[in-house]
């Protein structure tokens, strides 16, 4: 089946066509993403109202381009998948309403997709990973360990009690005047920095739980920056590198503990860690996880960067997986600003197909 995926939950306007064959393999036929960096640059963060307006302005063109690149007509589509949350509600409404209109006009099923499920299932599109698997989701709004048991079947093992990791990168970038998006900017600055110059705190790490806390770390970075002000270029690089190394150490330790729990609770399962979300694009973090997994005899799965950050292919794919199990949504389905992965009712039963 051919699925059109629409993503508008934050500051990426994205559309994609994904083919899912009968064996359950996915192929990306097109994947068009327009980032709204320029619109928000002057404000130091995403402005919800501006984001929604830009989605209105661009979505039709992005969908048309996705159809052209996939070399198909809208009438070839078997179903329309659109992000229904979580995210900035104005943007979600633009994408979901457009999806509903297209599905109605084409007389094709609509699949309302949870954006986080899009991130969570990407590794099945790119690497064919089988259920169940342990996932570390690290994105702009979320940081959590989740046992992915099936489509719509998620068990949260732990996560951040304050800031998300991507959010921490974005805030550190802002206070170092590195611009946005913050993650890539911090990573770039860190390349010429000394990661050992500053020792930042590692909140919660001594406690025996799979949780994160990044807000104290961010504050420590701010205090260090204030103490050194005015910052030289080398100071900025050293702070960025020290922050990034601290984060890598925290995530590495927690991930090792999560793998240990996996081995304890699910002894028959392959030792595997799937990383998802925009922060998975960070090379320093990936290297730390690679080293840890190699030492633990575990497999590390990280999708290509363009599929870790927000995109339409992950929404099309999650839609395709739900569609294959018989899931369909009515045109009355609501846009949701908040929608945790472990919400009851997300699960699609195999026998619905
Ligand atoms: P969510 O998926 O939780 O709703 P989101 O959609 O905004 O949030 P993503 O698009 O998955 O999040 O990821 C964006 C986040 O990833 C941003 O916070 C960004 O700074 C971060 N990020 C992107 N590239 C990197 C990088 N190379 N290093 C660190 N962080 C990065
Ligand atoms: Mg974004
Ligand atoms: Fe995202």
Question: What tokens does 140 get?
Answer: 């702009």
**pLDDT of 146 above 80:** yes
One DSSP character per residue, 217-267 reads HHHHHHHHHHHHPSPPHHHHHHHHHHHHHHHHHHHHHHHHHHHHHHHHH-T
Q: Which residues pair with 26 in a beta bridge?
A: 20
**pLDDT of 353 above 80:** no
| Number of the ligand 1 atom closest to the C-alpha atom of 180 | 20
What digits encode the pLDDT tens for the residues 271-319? 999 999 999 999 999 999 999 999 999 999 999 999 999 999 999 999 9
Contact 222, 231 (CB under 8 A): no
pLDDT band with cut points at 50, 70 and 90 for residue 43 = confident
User: Nearest residue CA, atom 1 of ligand 1?
Assistant: 141
Count the residues in the chain.
353
Edge-to-edge, what's the strand order for the sheet holding 153-159? Answer: 153-159, 143-150, 133-138, 272-276, 299-301
Q: Is 137 annotated as a binding residue?
A: yes
Q: Which residue has the tokens 């969908």?
A: 63
CA–CA gap between residue 244 and residue 223 (Å, rounded): 16
Identify the sign of the CA torsion 65, 48, 281, 323: negative
Q: Is 163 annotated as a binding residue?
A: no
Query: Cα(306) to centroid of ligand 2, in Å?
Result: 12
- Of 334, 287, 301, the C-alpha closest to 112 is 334
What digits encode the pLDDT tens for the residues 314-335? 999 999 999 999 999 999 999 9
- Distance (Å) of CA 149 to CA 37, 78, 155, 247, 341: 35, 26, 8, 28, 12
pLDDT band with cut points at 50, 70 and 90 for residue 350 = low
Residue 155 DSSP SS3: strand
What digits encode the pLDDT tens for the residues 117-139? 999 999 999 999 999 999 999 99
* pTM, to two decimals: 0.97
Taking a 5 Å cut-off on Cβ, the residues next to ion ligand 3 are: 139, 310
- Of 187, 193, 138, the C-alpha closest to 167 is 138
Q: Which residue has the tokens 């099945």?
A: 124
Kindly state if the Cβ of 142 falls inside 6 Å of ligand 1. yes
Query: Cα(310) to centroid of ligand 3, in Å?
Result: 5
Measured from the alpha carbon of residue 35, the closest ligand is: 2
Kindly state if the Cβ of 282 falls inside 6 Å of ligand 1. yes
ipTM of the complex in this document: 0.98
Mean pLDDT, rounded, for 68-74: 98
pLDDT band with cut points at 50, 70 and 90 for residue 235 = very high
Q: Ligand 1: which of 166, 250, 336 to mutate, most ligand atoms within 8 Å of CB?
A: 166
């Amino acid at each position: 089946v051919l699925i059109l995926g629409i993503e508008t939950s934050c500051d990426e306007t994205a559309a994609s066509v994904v083919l899912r064959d009968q064996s359950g393999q996915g192929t990306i036929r097109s994947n068009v993403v327009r980032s709204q960096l320029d619109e928000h640059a002057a404000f130091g963060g995403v402005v919800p109202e501006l984001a929604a307006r830009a989605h209105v302005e661009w979505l039709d063109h992005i969908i048309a381009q996705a159809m052209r690149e996939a070399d198909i007509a809208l009438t070839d589509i078997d179903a329309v998948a659109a992000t229904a949350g979580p995210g900035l509600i104005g943007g979600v409404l633009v994408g979901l309403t457009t999806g509903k209109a297209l599905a109605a006009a084409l007389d094709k099923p609509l699949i309302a997709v949870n954006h986080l499920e899009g991130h969570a299932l990407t590794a099945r599109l790119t690497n064919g990973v089988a259920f169940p698997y342990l996932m570390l989701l690290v994105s702009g709004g979320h940081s959590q360990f989740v046992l992915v048991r099936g489509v719509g079947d998620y068990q949260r093992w732990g996560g951040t009690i304050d800031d998300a990791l991507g959010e921490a990168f974005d805030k550190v970038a802002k206070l170092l005047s590195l611009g946005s998006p913050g993650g890539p900017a911090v990573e770039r600055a860190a390349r010429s920095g000394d990661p050992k110059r500053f020792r930042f705190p590692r909140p919660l790490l001594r406690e025996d739980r799979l949780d994160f806390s990044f807000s104290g770390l961010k504050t420590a970075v701010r205090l260090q920056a204030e103490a050194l002000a005015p910052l030289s270029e080398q100071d900025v690089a050293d702070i960025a590198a020290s922050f990034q190394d601290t984060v890598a150490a925290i995530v590495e330790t927690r991930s090792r503990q999560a793998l240990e729990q996996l081995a304890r609770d699910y002894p028959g399962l392959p030792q595997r860690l799937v990383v998802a979300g925009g922060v998975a694009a960070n090379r320093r973090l990936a290297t730390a996880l690679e080293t840890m997994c190699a030492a633990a005899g575990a497999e590390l799965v990280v999708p290509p960067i363009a599929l870790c950050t927000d995109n339409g292919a992950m929404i099309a794919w999650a839609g395709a997986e739900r569609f294959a199990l018989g899931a369909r949504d009515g045109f009355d389905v609501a846009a949701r600003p908040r929608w945790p992965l472990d919400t009851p009712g997300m699960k699609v039963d195999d026998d619905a197909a």
